[in-house]
Each structure stands twice: as structure tokens, then as C-alpha cells.
Chains A and B, each alone.
Chain A
Amino acid sequence: MSGYLTGVLVTLSFNVIAAYAVYLPMAAGQLNLGIAGFMAIGAYLGAFLTNELSWPIWAAVPVSAGLAGTVGLLIGLPVLRTHGIYLAMATFALGQVISATFLNLEVVGGAAGYPVAAYAPPAVVFAAAAGVFLFMVLLSTTRFALYLTAVKSDATVADLLGISVRGIQVAAFTLGAVVAGFGGALYGHHYSFIEAQHFNVMLSVFPVLYVLFGGTQTVLGPLVGALFFTLAPEWLRASAEWRYALFAMFIILFMAARPQGLVTTSMFRLLGRRKAQAPA
């Protein structure tokens, strides 16, 4: 495998993990605009464990993912009192506060960044992304996925049917944070260097784009979205400076033509629904 191809595939793997971190809360109807914060927790804690306490990577990464999840749980409880756009903004603020906190933590390098000694080779990254994907596919066959859809579609009805709406919401938010923390911890160990500035708003927002572009209705949507967003700019590389402009134009036109995203459960049902909506 050429170095270029490996590089692109590694980026793809991280993007897939990030996309699924956004997908889980979104499947429960939450727009999480702060996953960069959870990635930062995973990245910094993972690096701290291997650097300062000389933990092995295989132990440090899951533990950091777990801690990111714990933070998600603790913060999710108050934050999930808000709904819709308020929740989106709360997660957005949360992501900003977390990465700004790391920017000021001198014990992990502060603004200068934090080198990571232990190294995770590309094969590990690929395996991790595949693992996250398989986990999500598995999850989509369980009742939990049904609960998520129920809570997203109509929380009141889900509540009446005996689903613990708040429990499901917190679980989805926390699991998303775990996946983000997992990706972040791996990111630090693969690239051998982390800096707080990397975990910015755009890092939170782009995975949301992958998911909405790919479509939120099926478990395949985030994968397809991440694939497209990683590979399309590479294909457009020939047109150097115009590539992001062309790419943005394509996204705008695509979303105007197909707002549900690329992959949907049933084309026919959707066509019918769109017709029904047309007169509004």
C-alpha cells in the first residue's frame, strides 16, 4: 500500500468513527455539535496514560473512551434537560469549553501541544474503525435501536409505551461520547501529537455533515457519508484551489435535491412522503 493511500484510509477510518459518534445521539433525535470535546478528552487522557503512567495502548484507549463516556454521562444529565436547538447549542458550548480547558492545561503541554510517545500503526486504526462499524451494525439489530427511533420519532408516544425516554436519551448521548473518546484516543496515538486547537468547532461539525449527507435513517448512512466526504476532495485534488469550493457547491445542490441524505430505508415510501409534503 502506498503511503498516500494509507494516509487517506487512516483519515477515512477516523472520519468513520467520528461519524458514528454523531450518529448515535442523532438516531435519538439529538444534534451533538460538541463531539470534538469528547475526542479531546479521549486523546489527552489516552496520551497522558501512555506517556506519564506508561500504560500500554490497548489499555489506555478503552479507559480513555470510558472516561469520555463518564464525562458525557455527567454532563448529559443536566444538558439533556434541553431539547432541539438548545441541546445542539449546549453541546456546541460544551465542545468549546472542553478544548479550551485543554488549551490551558499545562500538564499536557497547554497551547504548545502534547507529543505522544506510543504509536498505533495504521492496521490498528483500520481494525478499530471496522470494529466501531460492526458494533453499530450489531446495535442496529437490537431493540435498543428501535427505542432510539421511537424516542426520535415521537417522545410522547415512546413514553406512553413504557420506554424510559430520558434513559434512552442519556444512553445515546453517553455512547456517542464513548465512541468519540475512543476515536480521539486512537487519533493521538496514531499521529503522535495532539494540540487543543485541532479539536475545534469544525471537527465537531464535519461529522454531522457526514451523517446528514449519508442519511440518518440507516446504519449505513454515516459510513457512506464519511466515505464520500473523505474521498471526494481527494478526487477533486486535480483542481487544486477550487476543490473545496466545488465540493461545497456540490453539497449545497445535493442537499437541495435530496434532503434525506444518500441512503434511506425505503425509496418508495420516501417518494410518497415527499409528494404528500409538497402542497404545504
Chain B
Amino acid sequence: MVSQQIVNGLMLGSIYMLVAVAFTLAIGVLNFLNFSIPGLFMLGGMAAYGGVKMGLHWSLAFAGALALAGLVSLAVERLAYRPMRGGDPEVPLVSSLGFLVLLENLMLIRFGSDQQAFPALLADTNLRVGGLVIGMAQLASLALSIALVIWLSWFLSATNTGRRVRTVAESGETAVLLGIDMSSLVPRLFIGSALLAATAGILFAVNYQQVSPFMGEGVGFKGVAAMIVGGMGSIWGAVLGGLLIGMVEVLSISLIGSNVVNITVYGLLLLILILRPQGLMGRPPSREKL
């Protein structure tokens, strides 16, 4: 029974992992706690649902949802991030939160506040391995999440663009001095982070077969927790944190009860922050003043 829960935890964790990587890109590189990411996660799921409901083929619906999320993220960059560059780090938080409220309410107007059933795309083919039940959709999304993260990690370490991103993460000023074109790199980062969040939203919709305008909040905040537990700015930290948070959530529901989820998940986060603020796999902050 516990091993079944571990499998479920891994599945949930793979979704947190993608959201955490999306947050890590925004915060590790740009030092911007982008609260529109839960909104983009929700947009991914809801727009895919809207597309499928309109009778589009699922692949078109998914592509449309991803494109929409990318476009919205460009607007976030233009309106929330760009005007505040160099100011107080908490200020862009307000407008990115504004985007979250805006997206939620636009979806509310379009689809209503009820939870909608997302159609099952893969026929209910479950894999049975020694008493364990593994849904094909779950397995596919776990594989896709891991593949995406491996690709991203390779991209950041081996390509020129990846090297630029890491330079910006190290120091924005140095990056500008070295001639990195911030005005083209930053929007691309925003699109990348939006695509990850929207992919997570679509995977969530496919796996749990439900969407709602507020699906982003719970998952989004757990994604933040996963990012910090793993270590801010570290891709593999986000992976570890996401899987860990997913596991802790599923195990505490099955062993204790659903009301304690916030205590265990955020208690773990608090504990990590007090004992090891840089996260499990993060580097200690190098320019600490006091």
C-alpha cells in the first residue's frame, strides 16, 4: 500500500517539479518571485480544456494553450518585470499577483467557478506491476517531466544561450558589461518559464482529469515550496524538492489525513529555511551582507 502511495507521490511530485523549475528560472536568474506562474499553470490546464471542449484535436488544444501562456508571460515581462528593474525586489510581486488575479477572473467569466471534468485522453490503460497500479497518463507525464528537465539542464550547461542565462544569474550587471543582450534574453526566459508552468498545468489536467480557475494556487505555492526545499536557482534542486514535496503530501494524506498536508509540507519548508536556508542542493549565498 505504501509503495502505491510512493508511486502516486512521484506522479504528483513530477508536476510540482515542473512548476518549481519554472519558479527557479524566474527567481534564480532574475531575482523575481513571479506570482503569475500559478496563473500560467492554470491557464495551461484551462485553455487546453477550452480547446478540447471546442472540438479541437488534443494536440492542437495543447499547442494553443502553450502558445497562449507564452504570450501572457511576455505581457508579464513587459508590464510587471521591465518597469521595476533595479527597484525594490518585492515590487514586481504586486503586478505579477495582479496577473494571477486577472487570469483567474477571466477564466471565471469564461468557464464559471466550478471544477470542470477534463476528458480522458488515453484509454484507461493501467500498468500493473506486482500489485502496483500505474496509469499510462501518469507514466507518460512523469517521463515527459523528467525528459524536459534533463533537456533544460543540458541546455543551460552546454549551449551559448544557456551560458548567457547562467551569467545573468550570477550577476546582471556583469552580464550587461559582457555585452549580453538582456532585452532579448529576458523575454525568452519568461517564455521558457511560462511553457514549463503551462505544461505542468496540462499534465495536471490530463492526470487528474479536472480543471478549475483556481487550480493554480495550491499547486503553485507547493511549487514555490519545492523550489526552496531543493535550493533556489538549482534545476536539480527543484527536481529533488518537487519529488520530495509530492511524496510528503501523498504520504501524509494516506498515513495521517488530508488536513495535515499544509502542516507537513510547509513545516518541512520552514525547517529547511531555518536549518539550511540555501536549500538541499543550493549553494550558500555568496554576497551576504550581515
A binds B: yes
Chain A interface residues (CB < 8 Å from chain B): 26, 31, 78-79, 81-86, 88-90, 92-94, 96-97, 99-101, 103-104, 110-111, 155-156, 159, 165, 201-202, 205, 208-209, 212-213, 216, 241-242, 244-245, 247-249, 251-253, 255-257, 259-260, 277, 280
User: Is there contact, CB below 8 Å, between B259 and A103?
Assistant: yes
Interface segment, one of B55-63, B77-85, B145-153: B77-85
Of listed B31, B86, B90, B259, residue having the most chain A CB within 10 A:
B90
Q: A82-B277, A90-B274 are contacts. A255–B91 as well, Cβ < 8 Å?
A: yes
Q: Cβ of B46 < 8 Å from any Cβ of A? A: no
Q: A156-B289, A212-B93 are contacts. A245–B105 as well, Cβ < 8 Å?
A: yes
**Interface secondary structure of A, over-half rule:** helix
Q: A241-B109, A259-B91, A280-B85 are contacts. A253–B274 as well, Cβ < 8 Å?
A: no
Nearest to A31 among chain B residues (CB) is B90
User: Is there contact, CB below 8 Å, between B80 and A245?
Assistant: no
A196 to chain B, nearest CB (A): 9
B99 surroundings in chain A (CB, below 8 A)? 248, 252
- How many residue pairs between the two chains, A and B, have CB atoms under 8 Å in the bound complex? 146
B262 surroundings in chain A (CB, below 8 A)? 96-97, 99-100, 103
Nearest to A243 among chain B residues (CB) is B105
User: Is there contact, CB below 8 Å, between B266 and A100?
Assistant: yes
Contact of A93 among B35, B86, B108, B273 (CB under 8 A): B273
Residue contacts A-B, CB under 8 angstroms, 12 given: A83-B289, A85-B33, A85-B89, A97-B263, A100-B260, A104-B263, A155-B290, A156-B289, A202-B217, A216-B88, A252-B79, A255-B84
Besides A96-B265, A245-B106, 10 more A-B contacts (Cβ < 8 Å) are A83-B289, A84-B89, A92-B221, A93-B267, A103-B262, A156-B289, A208-B93, A209-B94, A212-B94, A248-B105
B163 to chain A, nearest CB (A): 23
User: Is there contact, CB below 8 Å, between A165 and B290?
Assistant: yes
Interface segment, one of B11-19, B203-211, B224-232: B224-232
A81 surroundings in chain B (CB, below 8 A)? 274, 277
User: Chain B: how many interface residues by the 8 Å CB criterion?
Assistant: 50
Chain B interface residues (CB < 8 Å from chain A): 27, 31, 33, 35, 79-80, 83-91, 93-95, 97-99, 101-102, 105-106, 108-109, 217, 221, 224-225, 228, 232, 259-263, 265-267, 269-270, 273-274, 277, 285, 288-290
With A and B bound together, what is the CA distance between A212 and B84 in angstroms?
13
Nearest to A240 among chain B residues (CB) is B109
B93 surroundings in chain A (CB, below 8 A)? 31, 208, 212
A103 surroundings in chain B (CB, below 8 A)? 259, 262
With A and B bound together, what is the CA distance between A259 and B80 in angstroms?
9
